[in-house]
Homo-oligomer: A and B are copies of this chain.
Amino acid sequence: MATRDQPLDADGTRARRLRLEDVAAAIGMSPSSVSLALSDRPGPSEETRRRVREAADRLGYRPDRTARLLARRRTRLLGVMLDIRSPFHAELVEDLHQASEGRGYDLVLSTVTAGRDERRAVDALLDFRCEAVILLGPAVSVSQLGALSRQLPVVVIGKQTGADIDVVRAADDLGVAQAVDHLVGLRHRDIAFVDAGKGPIASLRRRGYRTAMRRNGLTGSVRVVPGGLDERAGAQAAHALLESPELPTAVVAYNDMCAVGLQDAFSRAGVGVPEQVSIVGYDNSTLARLAHIDLTSVDQDAEQLAAHAVQVAADRLENGRGAAEEFVLTPHLVVRGSTGPAATA
């Protein structure tokens, strides 16, 4: 092989990585014994294990994962597809690391970006020989999901898919219901909901709103305002509300961005938050936590979502396939300064 085909070491010399054989030579035993000792399997005597550990440590030996994975049939690698720009995904990844570590799996991350669609991101994961993949809020089609799940276990976090695939998600309807209940507890009755079209998530949240209003005997006050996912949409919704005959005393927004848009538009119009209008967001994003935004918001509990997802993936790998399951976790409301008692007229 040509010299230039081999990466150079930092100082320009050839790298000579330590092999299992070197450790074996150091203690005068066979590579097999060392291998067995290092992976804690029966065979080697206690004395041998000790010497192997000592030598490996002393020499700074690190097994070559590539070779190991080729020889073993398993990689114990879970692939995670995410959007690296999403703070919510960031949180999930943190928790996924924690959860997978506990079960002896490693994670490999692959992000979707402008020039890198979901298909490519997943292909990269497959190239690493992941045994299962966890998809964070994928937009991929049902048929593609189906095809993928025929190759390896697939777990989707965050939304229903329509495909026959394991899903772990938060109960969005209950989340919104909690927001409504919180507001009702503060004596609000005129509570509006700012919507975001007809995606599966939006529908669920809207339904949660309607149901909660009805349960609180407020069917007459139901008001769904068209909105969207971003700030601008929130601001527009705020203007629509400002121009309506009567301003609601509280608004539940589709998500935090939208809520911030509302918050800002109201402030600019001289409407005090929460003095005149209380606002609740959704996602409990870092945005909501900023001191001057200080938004009451619904938290999806990333930690639990992550823990469940890893659990499901590991189960599939270890116990084979049963029917696809859907795990629906209950989110919880984080109360901050954007909600307060209803202004009594």
Say yes or no: B66 contacts A129, CB within 8 Å. Answer: yes
Query: Is A150's CB within 8 Å of the partner chain B?
Result: yes
The yes or no answer to A278 lying at the interface (CB within 8 A) is no
Once the chains are docked, how many angstroms separate the CA of A149 from the CA of B15? 12
Q: Which 3 A-B pairs have the closest CB atoms?
A: A264-B292, A94-B113, A12-B320
Does A227 count as interface, using CB distance less than 8 angstroms?
A: no
A174 to nearest B CB, angstroms?
Answer: 27
Q: Who on chain B is nearest to A111 by CB?
A: B93
Alpha-carbon distance between A1 and B115 when the two chains are bound, in angstroms? 42
Cα(A93)–Cα(B153), bound, Å? 27
Report A287-332 residues with CB < 8 Å from chain B CB: 290-292, 316-321
Q: Write out the residue numbers on chain B whose beta carbons fall within 8 Å of the beta carbon of A124.
A: 106
Q: Which residues of B contact A126 (CB under 8 A)?
A: 62
Tell me whether A114 and B94 are in contact (CB under 8 A): yes
For the complex, is A69 an interface residue (Cβ under 8 Å from B)? yes
- 22 contacting pairs across A/B (C-beta < 8 A): A1-B73, A7-B132, A8-B321, A9-B152, A10-B152, A12-B320, A66-B66, A66-B69, A66-B75, A67-B70, A84-B90, A84-B93, A84-B109, A85-B87, A85-B286, A87-B87, A106-B124, A109-B109, A128-B128, A235-B291, A260-B290, A261-B292
**In the bound complex, what is the Cα–Cα distance between A266 and B84 (angstroms)?**
33
Nearest-Cβ distance from residue A76 to partner chain B, whole angstroms: 9
Whole-angstrom distance between the Cβ of A293 and the nearest chain B Cβ: 9
| Residue in chain B with minimal CB distance to A318 | B4
A11 to B7, CA, bound (A): 41
What is the bound-complex CA distance between A9 and B129, given in angstroms?
13
Q: Which residues of B contact A10 (CB under 8 A)?
A: 149-154, 316, 321
Query: Does A64 lie at the interface of the complex (its beta carbon under 8 Å from any beta carbon of B)?
Result: yes
Chain B residue at smallest Cβ distance from A290: B231
Closest B-chain residue to A113, C-beta based?
A: B94
Flag if A5 contacts B73 (CB, 8 Å). yes
- The answer, yes or no, to whether A143 is at the interface (CB within 8 Å) is no
Beta-carbon contacts under 8 Å, A65-121 to B:
65-67, 69-70, 73-75, 84-85, 87, 89-91, 93-94, 97-98, 101, 106, 108-111, 113-116
Cα A131 to Cα B66 with chains together (Å): 13
